[in-house]
Chains A and B, each alone.
Chain A
Amino acid sequence: MRKYGAGFHRKLEALLLLASGLMIFKLYVSGNLSHILADRMLPFSIIALVLFSVISVCLFQSSKTHISSCDCCGCETSKKKQVIYPYLLFGIPLFLGFIMTDFSLSEQALANKGLQNGAFSTTKIEEGSYDLEKDSIKVTDENYFEVFNHLYTFLDDMEGKQISLAGFVYREPDFPNNQIAIARLTMTCCIADANVYGFIFRGDVEKLKTNQWYEVQGKIGKETYKGEVIPVIQLNTFNQIQPPKEQYLSEYTSIE
């Protein structure tokens, strides 16, 4: 136990706790934390950051005097031979957190999640909100789910209208060449529970690159796909844009 000098393991743990605090800090300051965690989870991370720093300092202080009682109280580790390699495991997330720069999911990963089809079940459907009665509809972050639901439930009324929206290009392996979806991701807690929502577009879409962000404009039509009538938008114009700051939509806020 004393092989590496008094309190070696406690000091190592203190260092690792400090490192996790620093990792959260770095991710938070660079804005990458909000790419992998939903906004409502961020305060918890900040609390963890503070706790990690405080505990790390306290642990380092207390490691100088090894507690005698610990030998009798049977802490899980004191009985076994103390080894360092379990701490290497803790190094994996730390290492990744410090060096990773690209916090987006690859196209294969998204294609495995699959596109949401059918109306999003969470919002109660209200007929004819003002914006939706106009002949051209602009989809924003705020009305995204409203338009999405409306399109699936009142497709006959919506047919022939102009629609414009922004999103990234999403393709599945079985999509024909002239079909893409302009999609958005939602996140409730973390990127592991992300869902893909998208509008199906048809037309001359081969030039649009997968996972790139575009602002597109088109005319709403309908088609029968696997026995269901779904909205399909005929692509008119598109231009490439930078990904927005808020890449993720929240299924939570769409309810409130």
Chain B
Amino acid sequence: MRFNSHTTHINRRKSIYFINLLSEVLSIVIRYVGNVFLFVLALLLMFFFFIGQEIVDINAFLSSRWNSIFVVFLSIFLEALPFLLVGVLASAFIQLFVSEEMVQRCIPKNSIKALFFAIIAALVTPVCECAIIPVVRRLIQKGVPLHAGVVLLVAAPILNFIVFASTYYAFPNHPALFYGRILLCVITALLVGLFTLIFFNGKVEHVIHNYAELAHSMEGSKTSFSERWREFIQHFSQDFFSVVKYFIIGALIASCLQVFFNRSLLTELGEQSIFGTAAMMGFSYLLSLCSEADAFVAATFVNSFRPEAMLGFLVFGPMLDLKNTFVLFACFKPRFVLMFIIVVTCIVFSLSLLAGVIIEMGGL
């Protein structure tokens, strides 16, 4: 084909016109695509809500083993969901209704005093490990000293009365484990707090994403209630979904391990002090149980494991576990999370061994 310059020019103009028109049409379509997509999704939801189990026969393409994995996954997810919800609600509440001055007034200026203050705060906060992470992140953004926040993060899951009660009931014949769990938790929290004080003092920007921008979020806050309410609800939903997506990954992996891991393999390590403790700590990390329930699972091992291994399980599990690690990575910078994991692991491991020696000598 031959083109002279004139027709090329017209063609180019035409094509530009076309592209403009097309992009115009596309932008209109795209604007509605969102709504259409949502509408279809809502229909699907209704569909699944009423006849979900009839249209998809899950047993046809799932082996019983995978079915068990999904049962465990769903159960971990549903168990933690209310607590995640409350944690994120509290965090959104703190974000909008607690000012930095209020925080400054409440927290003691002295760093060491602040550590002990955080221990008391952990005792009165009735939340377990899922709920505490977003709250602590928000508190640190609001000006709570980093080390106090970390103490709260470590201690809050164990230092509450429901956990005390379940531990007491699970080990009525082993008071050493009951007192040891509480004591080790407090000591670990204080040591981790001190460590953070020394190595991360005043470097909050190394710990939290976007710290510089977040610090000023209260400026220009609006007084109108409806405006604040809207902000609260949108903050909540953004936070909730950013935490939940990591939680789901963690819960999926944990549920696979729950089903595939043979617990009798562990008991062979029961007599060894160091390997037994390490194995039980790893086990509690992978199981990702709620801190309120793990004492009863631990009780099944009490006859075959040494006390230091039991303490390792009871103290380490609530502080760190698989599902939590993902949530931690969602909330804090990777470097800090890695440091946190290493420090907590080392401290709990050495303290458990030490406690084992003391119990052996009849100290408790």
Contact = CB atoms under 8 A, between A and B. Distances in A.
> Is this pair of chains taken from one and the same complex?
yes
Interface of A: 3-5, 8, 10-20, 22-24, 26-27, 33, 36-37, 41, 44-45, 47-48, 51-52, 55, 58-59, 62-63, 65, 67, 69-70, 72-79, 86-87, 89-90, 92-93, 95-109, 111-114, 116-118, 121-124, 186, 188-193, 195, 251-252, 255
Q: What are the nearest 8 A-B pairs in CB distance?
A: A4-B34, A98-B52, A74-B213, A106-B64, A36-B75, A48-B82, A190-B79, A189-B293
A102 B53 CA distance: 10
B296 interface: yes
Interface of B: 30-35, 37-38, 41-42, 45, 48-49, 52-53, 55-56, 58-59, 64-65, 67-68, 70-79, 81-83, 85, 89, 166, 169-174, 209-210, 213-214, 217, 220-222, 227, 229-231, 233-242, 244-245, 248-249, 252, 254-255, 258-264, 287-290, 292-294, 296-297, 299-300, 302-303
Contact of B210 (A4, A27, A79): A79
Contact of B237 (A23, A36, A59, A98): A59
28 contacts: A11-B34, A15-B41, A23-B49, A48-B82, A51-B89, A67-B231, A69-B221, A74-B213, A76-B209, A77-B238, A95-B48, A98-B48, A99-B48, A100-B58, A100-B67, A101-B59, A106-B67, A108-B64, A109-B258, A112-B263, A188-B292, A188-B293, A190-B290, A192-B79, A192-B258, A193-B290, A193-B294, A195-B296
A5 B32 contact: yes
A96 B53 contact: no
Contact of A121 (B67, B85, B173, B209): B173
Classify the interface of chain B: helix, strand, loop or mixed.
Answer: helix
Most chain B CB atoms below 10 A, which of A15, A62, A104, A123: A62
A89 B245 contact: yes
Contacts, number: 253
A190 B293 contact: yes
A233 B299 CA distance: 25
B28 to A, nearest CB: 10
Contacts of B31: 4-5
B213 A188 contact: no
B245 A75 contact: no
A90 B245 contact: yes
Given A59-B233, A190-B78, A193-B293, A19 B30 contact: no
B238 A75 contact: yes
B58 A99 contact: yes
A187 to B, nearest CB: 9
A10 B34 CA distance: 11
B297 A191 contact: no
Nearest to A17: B237
A251 B289 CA distance: 16
Classify the interface of chain A: helix, strand, loop or mixed.
Answer: helix
Given A13-B241, A74-B214, A193-B296, A99 B56 contact: yes
A189 B264 contact: no
Given A73-B213, A93-B74, A44 B82 contact: yes
A219 B163 CA distance: 40
Contact of B238 (A15, A33, A36, A76): A76
A191 to B, nearest CB: 4
A14 B260 contact: no
B231 A8 contact: no
Contacts of A69: 220-222, 231
B35 A5 contact: yes
Given A26-B49, A122-B172, A195-B297, A70 B75 contact: no
A102 B248 contact: no
A103 B75 CA distance: 10
B68 A192 contact: no
B52 A105 contact: no
Given A188-B166, A192-B255, A193-B293, A99 B53 contact: yes
